[in-house]
Structure 1
Amino acid sequence: MKIVDVCGFYTPHGGGIRTYVDQKLALAEQFGQDITILAPDEEAGVEERGPHARIVTVPAARFPLDRKYFAFTDAAPVHEALDRLQPDLVEVSSPWRSAMIAKEWRPDVPKAMIMHSEPLSAHAYRWFERLAKPDTVDRQFDWFWQRLREFGRTFEAVVCANSHLATRMTEGGVGHVVNIPMGVQSGAFSPDRRDEGLRAELLEQCALGPEATLLVVAGRLATEKRVPMLVEAATIAGRDRPLGLVIFGEGRAHAKIVRAIAGNPHIRLFKPVRDRERFAAILASADALLHGCEAETFGMTTAEARASGIPVIAPDRGGASDFATGPYQYRAIDADDAVRAILSLPPHFAPVPPRDHVRNMEDHFEELFALYERILAKKRVRAA
């Protein structure tokens, strides 16, 4: 099957979509697929990733809000590229302009959307959270829901990586919604990577001894990740028990997070850990992962934490909610309830190996490509 992903927000400089694209291209041959990523860039080019995997770039305008990105604005060059590539199925990864461009190309070719972002939770709900509840915001942003419903009518699949988003989309009248969770990198994360020496070292950085509880926050330091709220919750919880919080990340919210820490010696902010083995050891050596974002479309770090055998403390909305169970799930945007969740951790923690199979990205793509094969099979039956 020839798949072309019209990937409007791909950049080689990093981000979740790039990670997803890299894994998809690496697995193309294993699953017998021919995959082309059609991405906007400064100039045209082809980057071969294997005999059946490549990135084709199309000249496009630079995205004004983030100079690392380019954006499709003109349909003609995208349609010309699709005409050359002749895919069996077109995939899109953004509900914005790139999806509309793909939708307008050859209605006879099946199309699917991967919901890599969910703008209402990530932006609109947060902008108006002090003024209105999400259902009220939804009514004001009905134009966006109408857009999603149009994609649900014309695309053969709208793929969500978490159950909360899939339910919201279905209840909002979007058709052809399918929940296909993503997964972790195979073999990378395990309770076996726990290192008590590393744990003691991190707690020492927080001016605490090994008897303290060690929490980890990791990821992009963006406003929607709500790290200052997590800092507040950890500070309050730390009044009841010895507790250290280590934060790994970088981003535009850095200065705001430093102000929230306010010199607290038990909370430390570090640069991201790029070495995957060391990061896996850090996760497995912590007593819990603390997560604040209620707008995740999946929540890769939360999945990695669960695979590492540690609890996930996360909001009751968004992709992270699939990984936070029992008392460790707290009301979204509620620092007081996050404190309650933190204090529900046992004082002496031992990592617990996941009882079920740890879902990996091979599982995700196997399920996704099987869905695409069923879509093409139905098309052949209709054409017969």
Structure 2
Amino acid sequence: MTESFLPHMNGVTGSVLQILRHLERNGHEAHVIAPDAVGIPSRVHGAPIEPVASLALPGYRNVRIGAATTRRVAASLERFRPDVVHLASPFALGWRGALAASSRGIPAVAAYQTDIAAYTERYRLPATTTFARNHIVRLHRRATLTLVPSTESEHQLTGLGVDRIRRWGRGVDAERFHPSRRDESWQRCMTKEVIVGYVGRLAAEKQVEDLAVLQQVPGVRLVIVGDGPSRARLQAEMPDAVFLGHLDGDALAQAIASFDIFVHPGESETFGQTLQEAHASGVPIVATGRGGPLDLVRMGIDGWLYRPGDLDDLRMRVADLAGDGRKRRAFGVAGRAAVEGRSWQAVCGQLLGHFEEARGLHGLDRQLRSARIRRPEPVLPAVGRRWQRYVALGDSLTEGLCDPAPDGALRGWADRMALLLAARGGLHYANLAVRSRRVRDVSGEQLTKARELRPDLVSILIGANDLVKSHADVPALAAQVEQVVQTLRDDGADVLLVTPFLPDRRAARLFTRRFADFASRLAGVAERTGAMLIDTDLHPELSSRPNWGEDLVHLSSRGHRFLAYQAGEMLGVPHADTLGALDQVLHDIDATTRAAWWQHHALPWVWRRLRGRVAGDGRVAKHDDYVYIGRSSSMRSVEVH
């Protein structure tokens, strides 16, 4: 379901067309629901197009707003029976799609591409802005998964209370947009001056009027490609600029490649597809330092970012490149190199992975059969913070059962995370976790010892052993954890809370609602205390069989690695997600037989329970004082396997 489609071409339409092409090439069946418009095709890349009633957007005669009812959309879904509903830049029609998907029990993936609230704010409609912002939150919280194109849009939605957010950028057609498209004769016909070009809609939210300051830069000619309701006003304000109107296809590719500098003044862009096209064309960029450009333009490498709203800075950055052809060429080469790995094939392949994740999350939601309070994972309290003293609290999962090192010692996710943190400059690390421990142990002896060590970072993963008891008081357990967290926060430590989790086994489903209730309460604890939270419900792949050890109740080495890299990403370890993917490729975990499981794990557990004992009886923490991890002649060698 898309808010925009052919014959109106924009970033949303372009991405939908690329998705349809990829789905067709890979043997998937697609169906498109889009606002009706004169000239809308009946089929694109093998997918039938179902037009629905629409209204013209005021000020944009060619832009239509879908006005279909939820019942109409639900009937369409019932006929097609999709595995997943993709909502492209949802707002009006997308809201109906989210409701219809929910009513039919179908997972929905919402791709956040347009900052509607910023647009209404730009048009000075405060009442509408509040409605738009609330509507965005309501819509994306109803979706199974939300995809965002940039770091800033991720922070924006997280701040509004949207959860289950994943990064998904946009691909670029690096064959069509290519430096070879540059036409020197096109440029000579235009002007002998340095060409500074803009491509996009001519509307208030794009802030094209800011480019008027470039008329004061000697030797520069401003060329504007695009159309929209502000064109007449902009032509009057910038009489020396060349307005080429709307261009697409090869004509657009030729124009961009023939620019000397590409400018982008809009502050409300969630991504900035034209910036990628400029880089693919080998053209340096000057863009505002807000929104999507922050992830696309590398300062001093392939372009400049100017201070938002500072037009003197904009003029200075353009003048710098206009007067230095050598720098322009170097920036252009670097920009081209940066986008060569961002093909639409790769990006759409990532999208299919998000579709699969949404199906897994949707299955989890249905399994819980309760109103799970979905909250965002709190962001890092101090971006780039380097901790010096880290203490891990918990039970067997944090002790590291089923994650043996070559020397027989146990590692676990906390040990692995400590190594990631130590790579940034050394770390003192203590692990006080012991198997079979419960919340009362963390709030008692473990908390007492931890406070003696005066840590600046503490992780807590506890509660599973309490929750599988026949009479677990979930509110009381959560209250105990909150007291621990608040005490540590009052001591000045950052706290990373991890919600306990279950394997994907039929027997474990007896406890899913109880675990979900506890996780919801821990989310509230994190929100009230300022702790960081890894809500493992948002990572359903953790429950899959390969992530669990041979005893089927503890994480395998693969599972410990997965959790460690999720924690590393939460704590701002550079490229933790990429390192995790690489680590997974380098390891292959073999499954054990059912007979071995009964002999080595199930029967001994039953025997201990009959005798009133637990596996942790008589055991002490493996690191009850700090060990130093880092580059030092006196340290012991620590290696990740």
Aligned: 1:113 with 2:86: no
- Amino acid of the structure 2 residue aligned with 1:315: T
Aligned: 1:10 with 2:10: no
**1:63 is matched with which residue?**
56
- Amino acid of the structure 1 residue aligned with 2:337: R
Aligned: 1:356 with 2:338: yes
Aligned: 1:88 with 2:72: no
Q: What pairs with 1:1-384 in structure 2 (closer than 5 Å)? A: 6-41=1-36, 47-51=42-46, 53-58=47-52, 60-63=53-56, 65=58, 66-68=60-62, 69-107=64-102, 108-125=105-122, 127=124, 141=129, 143-203=131-191, 209=192, 212-230=193-211, 232-238=212-218, 242-262=219-239, 264=240, 267-274=241-248, 276-326=249-299, 328-345=304-321, 346-348=323-325, 349-350=328-329, 351-353=332-334, 354-358=336-340, 359-379=342-362
Task: Give the deviation of 1:170 after TM superposition.
Answer: 1.7
Contact 2:117 2:133 in 1 (8 A): no
Contact 1:186 1:361 in 2 (8 A): no
SS at match of 1:14: coil
| Structure-2 separation of matches of 1:162 and 1:237 | 32
- Amino acid of the structure 1 residue aligned with 2:217: A
Indicate how the Cα distance of structure 1 residues 120 and 146 shifts in structure 2: closer, same or farther if over 3 A, else same.
closer
Task: Give the deviation of 1:46 after TM superposition.
Answer: 8.3
- Amino acid of the structure 2 residue aligned with 1:22: L
Structure 1 length normalisation: TM-score? 0.82
Identify unmatched segments of 5+ residues in structure 1.
1-5, 129-136, 204-208
Indicate how the Cα distance of structure 1 residues 152 and 246 shifts in structure 2: closer, same or farther if over 3 A, else same.
closer
Structure 2 length normalisation: TM-score? 0.51
Task: Give the deviation of 1:271 after TM superposition.
Answer: 2.4
SS at match of 1:192: helix
Indicate how the Cα distance of structure 1 residues 11 and 196 shifts in structure 2: closer, same or farther if over 3 A, else same.
closer
| Structure-1 separation of matches of 2:116 and 2:54 | 21
Contact 2:74 2:101 in 1 (8 A): no
Identify unmatched segments of 5+ residues in structure 2.
368-505, 507-641
Contact 1:184 1:361 in 2 (8 A): yes
| Structure-2 separation of matches of 1:246 and 1:213 | 10
| Structure-1 separation of matches of 2:216 and 2:172 | 32
| Structure-2 separation of matches of 1:166 and 1:321 | 12
For the aligned residues, what is the CA RMSD? 2.8
Indicate how the Cα distance of structure 1 residues 317 and 190 shifts in structure 2: closer, same or farther if over 3 A, else same.
same
Contact 1:228 1:256 in 2 (8 A): no
SS at match of 1:370: helix
Detail structure 1 runs of 4+ shifted over 6 Å in the superposition: none
Identity %: 24
| Structure-1 separation of matches of 2:315 and 2:24 | 47
Indicate how the Cα distance of structure 1 residues 150 and 279 shifts in structure 2: closer, same or farther if over 3 A, else same.
closer
- Equivalent residue pairs, number: 352
Task: Give the deviation of 1:167 after TM superposition.
Answer: 2.1
Task: Give the deviation of 1:225 after TM superposition.
Answer: 1.7
**Larger Cα Rg: Structure 1 or Structure 2?**
2
Question: Looking at both structures, which has the greater relative contact order when contacts are Cα pairs under 8 Å and sequence separation is at least 6?
Answer: 1
